[in-house]
Amino acid sequence: MVKMKHSLKEWMIAVRPWSFPASIMPLVTLLYLSWHVSYTDIKWGYGVWALVNMILFHSAGNTWSDLFDFRKKVDAADTFGAKTLTSGMFTPKEIRKLSFCLLLVAVAGGMTLMFLTGLPLLWIGLAGVACALLYPPLKYAAVGDLVILLAFGILPAIGTSYVTVGFVDWSVLWVAIPVGLITVAILHINNLRDVATDKRAGISTIAMRLGGRVSVVVYCFEITFPFLWVFSCALGHIFPWWTLLVFLAAYPALQNVRTAMRYRNEGMQAIVSLDESTAKLQVMFSLSLSLAFLLDFLIGC
């Protein structure tokens, strides 16, 4: 019996499934938003298809970014980045092949969905592919945060809207912005944690250009402003009052703010696991927002 070179567990490590909430939760929230606005002909199957395709694109982006980071020496044995290449678990050739295979499957899925829904999805998909492929060099040029907001907030919002209801409902951006900002915060605090090793590699991130103190302020804004956004939308009758359920996530958000503020005195060690805490915050925020739309649809207010 021929032994596989890599186990399923190793392949899963390579695509980093623990990062998937960053791509899953925005789409889940947007699907519940579609339900909330009571469209009569929601194509739920296409919505799930878009969700799976987003995970594939995310996986391809993860492996592609890891390959770039390894070649640029951004990821090394002493960094907090992915260890799939720095530990010797995979070779760069293997990760490159995996990334291209994932991207090809995602593109094939996207093209099929385009033929079923319409040509506008092509332009949204091409923008998504560009984000996945260009993210590493753009991150090195301090544009990564903007790319993440586009790739995990705006593009999935308009794409999911189009495939589920047949047209782009631009009102979905009211949800995409706050959820996307928390996703950007995950990257931003990660980059702040890695400032020293990124400098050594000769790259430039937004966190590096802003400096530690300003980066902490930006991070705190990114995880607290979404709550103010939702409150303002509820006050302006854009969202139902049920959406104030997001404030269930306010306590962990404030805990993250307190942790981030410790960076000023304790340095990088204070925020070592803050990216993980921010990812959990995003899950709680998104689930609360989804539950709010569901309750408003079922009960009304």
pLDDT tops 80 at residue 198:
no
Number of domains in the chain: 1
pLDDT of the residue at 3 = 38
Which region holds residue 151: left if phi is over 0, alpha if psi is between -120 and 50, else beta?
Answer: alpha
CA 187 – CA 221 distance, rounded (Å)? 14
Domain-located, residue 3: no
pLDDT tops 60 at residue 82:
yes
pLDDT digits (tens, 9 = 90+) for 242-271: 899 999 999 999 999 999 999 988 888 888
Name the 3-class secondary structure at 41: coil
Tokens representing 177 are 């912005």
Domain-located, residue 91: yes
Whether this prediction's pTM lies above 0.75 is answered by yes
Domain-located, residue 193: yes
61-70, 217-226, 281-290, range with the lowest pLDDT: 61-70
- Look at residues 232, 236, 245 and name the one whose alpha carbon lies nearest to residue 292: 245
Domain-located, residue 10: no
pLDDT of the residue at 105 = 93
Percentage, residues of the chain above pLDDT 90: 26
Domain-located, residue 7: no
CA 279 – CA 263 distance, rounded (Å)? 19
Does residue 216 or residue 205 have the better pLDDT?
Answer: 216
pLDDT of the residue at 156 = 86
Give me the domain span that covers residue 197. Answer: 17-298
pLDDT of the residue at 4 = 47
Rounded average pLDDT over 107-135: 89
pLDDT-derived band at 167, boundaries 50, 70, 90: confident
pLDDT of the residue at 115 = 92
Identify which of 3-12, 90-99, 213-222 has the greatest average pLDDT. 213-222
pLDDT-derived band at 73, boundaries 50, 70, 90: confident
pLDDT of the residue at 79 = 61
pLDDT-derived band at 1, boundaries 50, 70, 90: very low
Domain-located, residue 194: yes
Does residue 81 or residue 167 have the better pLDDT?
Answer: 167
pLDDT of the residue at 95 = 87
Let me know if 1 is exposed, middle or buried by CB neighbors in 10 A (0-12, 13-18, 19+).
exposed
Show the DSSP H helices in the chain as ranges. Answer: 8-15, 21-36, 44-71, 92-117, 120-140, 144-149, 155-165, 173-193, 195-201, 206-210, 212-235, 250-261, 263-266, 274-298
What's the mean per-residue pLDDT of the chain? 84
pLDDT digits (tens, 9 = 90+) for 29-46: 777 676 656 555 778 888
pLDDT digits (tens, 9 = 90+) for 181-196: 999 999 899 888 888 7
Domain-located, residue 111: yes
Domain-located, residue 282: yes
